[in-house]
Amino acid sequence: MFKEEKSLEGDALIKEVCRRIRVARSYWDAHNNRACRREREKALILYNRLTKQEKEKIPQVLRVWLRYRSEKYFGSHRTPPRKTKKKK
């Protein structure tokens, strides 16, 4: 994690989680799965640092996308992304 992310607490942490989820959703809408997966993972790391009361402050639409809809496509049961082969 980045240094500024470690120091985030309270409202700043909530705001950053919302921002990351929105960025991931915009990548999803643009069919950029690699970037979406990366942003979603960062958002989940930060989301898991929140208390129950703080999680309730996240808009429901964002929580649903992060926990359920994106899990359907990026969950551990899915085939991991292909690694690009290096050309010689």
The CA-CA-CA angle for residues 57, 59, 62, to 5°, reads: 130
Alpha-carbon dihedral of residues 38, 83, 81, 42, nearest 10 degrees? -10
- For residue range 11-62, what is the model confidence (pLDDT) as tens digits? 899 999 999 999 999 998 999 888 988 998 999 999 999 999 999 999 999 9
Instruction: Report how far apart, in Å, the C-alpha atoms of 37 and of each of 10, 15, 79, 82 are.
Output: 25, 19, 13, 13
- The stretches of 1-88 forming alpha helices (DSSP H) are 3-6, 10-29, 33-47, 52-55, 60-64, 70-74
